[in-house]
């Protein structure tokens, strides 16, 4: 699967703006299960056929963001607590959350958002990660038993990420780009003294997949193109590097490392070589034989094991939601879960003794709540209360999966949110939302910024245009070197679909999005100037010539993949200029809002500055909100509230009757 390079979902805009560092606990990664009432509808003229409520309270942005966001689910060595990141203070910091009663003890108090990695396997030391003001130069830290914090990352301009503990807990692995800003080398740290050894010098642009528990084998990905990602196996004892899956010319396939088996004898990986979708394959290290393990009508997004190896989890990206199966490897049977509230599983972790499982549940109308289950017991216990006490989830709106046919007959999926008061006698204004990417996906789940708009009477339609992930590799590559054309036409035809619904105000439809979605907003206003009444551009690319020549150095390993999708600036500069809204800003005649982070390393502030200046010169209303303490997204709750209030005020001014 190709990289999602400029991804900034509205979830990230509203909630965090960045992903928490990935823990190496076997099942502490992807969202994992879907047990929702989320509908999977075929194309329909009038979705939401049942009557909706006639009245409901309107909540302000502060109330929506009084909701607490949680991340992380590592269980402590003694099984008594879980390590979480929480933004209850307004800034993400770390907390120890008791599995017995849900009581919290704050562990850090930094001014920059701080994210949990995991506990040490033998004591209560903690690994954590943070950058400075959203600059994406994440450092790895250890919080010692006395509460002091040590930076494990040398150099101010270095990026680092955790890569896992050895099976005996005596060492852990860290990637850094201190030697060469373009590539991540691999170091082995002594878990007691923190002395480190360089174990893999990365000169060829590999990316780390997984390390086996013995610390001998390292699985690596190598991006060849945006359709071709290979897998290699490095033996740290012999220093031998051998291919696991390398595509032949003309038979490109995207492979991704999932995990090693607990015994280190098998490597599991995903591949789309034999299917439209990502399948699970097993590679026997001794014999070199490969065999398929699992496939679905959707992409398998995760396949891994608990720390002990007893439980195996597999997650499938099923039509913008995630479904999971957890298998007891001792019996070969699926783990029978107790009755659960509707929602997607996320962040599943098991205790060392396999007796306890913690996980999050998240749905459109409920933020991520952390639960604990003593395996085999008839019920689970909720440990958090994330939703603001001033809100009732019954007043929020679940999305519906709908599909429409675009200009060329291609079926385009999306998530549609209908306000409770929207009906034919009083149609509601609408906003098309465009996800980040290229290659992102709008997915089900709680999103306070979307719910805030829907609560105040706006239809929101999150379109997964051609080029979105999750719908097969053919659909995924339809936007390659076609940006600002087919994908933009999908937005226009999404608008036509909305206009076919009698509860949508046909004359009042706007467009908004973040990152690549922000580009689509500016492109829509510049290249189809009469289609959308307003646009909200959140950290959006406006000048592809500049952006593609100023990518962060740590993107080097997938530069070729990016150029395969967007075009090489050395040869495609003319096309890049043609599709860049900045060079066509004189066409923008509809009100525009621009949101920008001053520390953004992906979409530089100058991109937004120049667009705002040019559009204002047209005599067009422009609202510009600049955050001097954010990067490519929001990590501070106060800024999320400010942005959400600004979205609503702008739409109320220029879109609502």
**241-245 β-sheet, strand order:** 206-211, 217-223, 229-235, 241-245
| For residues 232-245, average pLDDT | 96
Looking at the predicted structure, is the pLDDT value of residue 442 above 50?
yes
226, 2 in Cβ contact below 8 A?
yes
| Overall pTM > 0.85 | yes
SS (H, E, C) 42-55: CCCCCCCCCCCCCC
99 secondary structure, DSSP code? T
- So where are the chain's domains? 213-271+281-297, 401-654
pLDDT at 4: 37
pLDDT at 1: 41
Q: How far from each other are the two terminal CA atoms of the chain, in whole angstroms?
A: 43
Looking at the predicted structure, is the pLDDT value of residue 339 above 70?
yes
272 torsion bin: left (phi>0), alpha (psi -120 to 50), beta (else): alpha
| Of residues 110 and 556, more confidently modeled | 110
Q: Compute and round to an integer the Cα radius of gyration of the chain.
A: 24
Q: What is the pLDDT confidence band of residue 54, given thresholds at 50, 70 and 90?
A: low
Residue 613 half-sphere exposure, CB side, CA atoms within 13 Å?
8
pLDDT digits (tens, 9 = 90+) for 112-145: 999 999 999 999 999 999 999 888 999 999 999 9
430, 509 in Cβ contact below 8 A?
yes
What are the angstrom distances between the C-alpha of 529 and each of 462, 483, 511, 611? 20, 17, 12, 15
127, 162 in Cβ contact below 8 A?
yes
pLDDT at 633: 86
Looking at the predicted structure, is the pLDDT value of residue 15 above 80?
no
Mention every residue, 6+ apart, whose C-beta is less than 8 A from residue 151: 139, 140, 141
Torsions phi, psi for 394 (to 5 deg): -65, -20
pLDDT digits (tens, 9 = 90+) for 152-161: 999 989 999 9
Which of the residue ranges 361-365, 474-478, 562-566 would you say has the lowest mean pLDDT? 562-566
pLDDT at 561: 84
For tokens 């704050």, name the residue: 106
Cross-strand pairs, 454: none
Task: Report the percent of the chain where pLDDT is more than 70.
Answer: 92
Q: What is the pLDDT confidence band of residue 44, given thresholds at 50, 70 and 90?
A: very low
Residues in the chain: 657
| For residues 169-187, average pLDDT | 97
| b/e code 503-519 from CB counts within 10 Å (16+ = b) | bbbeebbbbbbbbbbbb
Burial of 131 (C-beta count, 10 Å sphere; 0-12/13-18/19+):
buried
269, 255 in Cβ contact below 8 A?
yes
353 secondary structure, DSSP code? T
pLDDT at 51: 44
492: Cα separation from own chain's centroid: 25
Q: What is the pLDDT confidence band of residue 553, given thresholds at 50, 70 and 90?
A: confident
Mention every residue, 6+ apart, whose C-beta is less than 8 A from residue 364: 36, 38, 396, 397, 398, 399, 417, 444, 445, 446, 447, 451
* Dihedral sign computed on CA atoms, order 145, 309, 235, 5: negative
- Rounded distance, CA 392 to CA 57, Å? 9
The mean pLDDT value of the chain amounts to 90
pLDDT at 184: 97
- Rounded distance, CA 400 to CA 413, Å? 10
- Three-state DSSP at 643 gives helix
Report the DSSP pairing between strands 459-463 and 428-434: parallel
Report the DSSP pairing between strands 39-40 and 400-405: parallel
pLDDT at 560: 83
| For residues 486-508, average pLDDT | 98
- Rounded distance, CA 513 to CA 499, Å? 20
Looking at the predicted structure, is the pLDDT value of residue 389 above 50?
yes
pLDDT at 250: 74
Mention every residue, 6+ apart, whose C-beta is less than 8 A from residue 365: 393, 394, 396, 397, 398, 446, 451
Dihedral of CA atoms 466, 470, 476, 478 in degrees, nearest 10, equals -20
Tokens linked to 117: 């990695």
Residue 423 half-sphere exposure, CB side, CA atoms within 13 Å?
10
| b/e code 400-438 from CB counts within 10 Å (16+ = b) | bbbbbebeeebebbbbbbbbbebbeeebbbbbbbbbbbb
Looking at the predicted structure, is the pLDDT value of residue 657 above 90?
no
Q: What is the pLDDT confidence band of residue 502, given thresholds at 50, 70 and 90?
A: very high
pLDDT at 47: 60
- Rounded distance, CA 657 to CA 508, Å? 8
| For residues 560-586, average pLDDT | 92
Report for 23-37, 242-256, 348-362: range of highest mean pLDDT: 348-362
- Three-state DSSP at 515 gives coil
Report the DSSP pairing between strands 381-382 and 366-374: antiparallel
76, 352 in Cβ contact below 8 A?
no
Looking at the predicted structure, is the pLDDT value of residue 30 above 50?
no
Which of the residue ranges 35-49, 94-108, 315-329 would you say has the lowest mean pLDDT? 35-49
The total of other beta-carbon atoms located within 10 Å of residue 135's CB is 17
**CATH, domain range 401-654:** 3.40.50.1820
What are the angstrom distances between the C-alpha of 281 and each of 233, 308, 333, 584? 15, 21, 20, 47
- Rounded distance, CA 128 to CA 143, Å? 7
| For residues 48-55, average pLDDT | 51
| Of residues 15 and 641, more confidently modeled | 641
- Three-state DSSP at 511 gives strand
The total of other beta-carbon atoms located within 10 Å of residue 477's CB is 18
Looking at the predicted structure, is the pLDDT value of residue 581 above 80?
yes
pLDDT digits (tens, 9 = 90+) for 446-471: 999 999 999 999 999 999 999 999 99
């Amino acid at each position: 699967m190709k990289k999602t390079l400029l991804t900034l979902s509205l979830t990230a805009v509203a909630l965090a703006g960045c992903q928490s560092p990935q823990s190496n606990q076997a099942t502490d990664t992807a969202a994992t299960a879907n047990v929702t009432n989320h509908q999977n509808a075929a194309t329909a003229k009038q979705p939401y056929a049942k009557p909706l409520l006639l009245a409901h309270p309107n909540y302000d942005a502060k109330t929506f963001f009084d909701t607490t966001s949680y991340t992380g689910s590592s269980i402590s060595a003694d099984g008594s607590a879980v390590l979480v990141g929480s933004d209850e203070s307004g800034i993400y910091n770390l907390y120890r959350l008791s599995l017995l009663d849900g009581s919290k003890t704050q562990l850090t108090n930094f001014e920059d958002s701080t994210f949990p990695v995991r506990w040490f396997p033998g004591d209560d030391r903690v690994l954590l990660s943070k950058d400075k003001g959203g600059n994406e130069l994440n450092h790895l830290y250890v919080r010692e038993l006395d509460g002091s914090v040590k930076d494990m990352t040398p150099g101010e301009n270095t990026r680092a990420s955790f890569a896992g503990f050895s099976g005996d807990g005596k060492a852990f692995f860290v990637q850094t780009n201190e030697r060469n800003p373009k590539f991540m080398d691999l170091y082995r740290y002594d878990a007691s003294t923190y002395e480190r050894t360089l174990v893999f010098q990365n000169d060829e642009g590999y990316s780390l997949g997984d390390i086996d528990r013995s610390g001998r084998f390292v699985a690596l990905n190598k991006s060849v193109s945006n359709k071709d990602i290979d897998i290699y196996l490095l033996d740290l004892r012999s220093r031998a590097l051998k291919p696991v899956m390398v595509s032949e010319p003309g038979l490109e396939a995207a492979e991704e490392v999932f995990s090693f088996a607990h015994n280190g004898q098998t490597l599991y990986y995903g591949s789309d070589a034999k299917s439209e979708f990502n399948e699970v394959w097993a590679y026997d290290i001794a014999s070199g034989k490969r065999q398929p393990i699992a496939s679905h009508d959707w992409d398998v997004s995760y396949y891994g094991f608990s720390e002990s190896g007893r439980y195996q989890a597999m997650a499938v990206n099923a039509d913008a939601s995630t479904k999971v199966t957890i298998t007891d490897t001792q019996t070969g049977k699926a783990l029978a879960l107790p009755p659960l509230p509707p929602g997607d599983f996320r962040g599943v972790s098991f205790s060392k003794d396999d007796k306890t499982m913690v996980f999050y549940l998240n749905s459109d109308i409920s933020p991520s709540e952390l639960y604990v289950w003593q395996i085999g017991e008839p019920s689970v216990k909720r440990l958090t209360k994330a939703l603001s006490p001033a809100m009732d989830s019954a007043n929020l709106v679940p999305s519906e999966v709908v599909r429409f046919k675009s200009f060329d007959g291609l079926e385009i999926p999306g998530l549609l949110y209908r306000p409770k008061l929207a009906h034919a006698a009083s149609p509601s204004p609408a906003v098309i939302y465009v996800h980040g990417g290229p290659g992102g996906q709008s997915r089900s789940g709680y999103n306070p910024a979307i719910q805030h708009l829907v609560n105040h009477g706006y239809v929101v339609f999150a379109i997964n245009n051609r080029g979105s992930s999750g719908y097969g590799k053919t659909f995924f590559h339809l936007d390659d070197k076609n940006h600002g054309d087919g994908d933009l036409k999908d937005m226009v035809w999404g608008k036509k679909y909305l206009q076919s619904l009698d509860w949508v105000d046909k004359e009042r439809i706007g467009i908004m999005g973040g990152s690549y979605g922000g580009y689509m907003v500016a492109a829509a206003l510049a290249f189809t100037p009469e289609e959308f009444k307003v646009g909200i551009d959140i950290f959006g690319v406006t000048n592809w010539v500049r952006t593609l020549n100023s990518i962060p150095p740590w993107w080097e390993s997938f530069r070729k993949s990016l150029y395969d999708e967007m075009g090489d600036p050395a040869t495609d500069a003319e096309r890049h200029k043609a599709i860049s809204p900045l060079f066509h800003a004189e066409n923008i005649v509809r009100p525009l809002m621009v949101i920008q982070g001053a520390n953004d390393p992906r979409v530089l502030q100058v991109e937004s500055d120049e667009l705002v200046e040019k559009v204002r010169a047209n005599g067009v209303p422009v609202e510009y909100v600049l955050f001097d303490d954010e990067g490519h997204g929001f990590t501070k709750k106060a800024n999320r509230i400010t942005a959400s209030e600004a979205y609503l005020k702008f739409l109320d001014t220029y879109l609502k009757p």
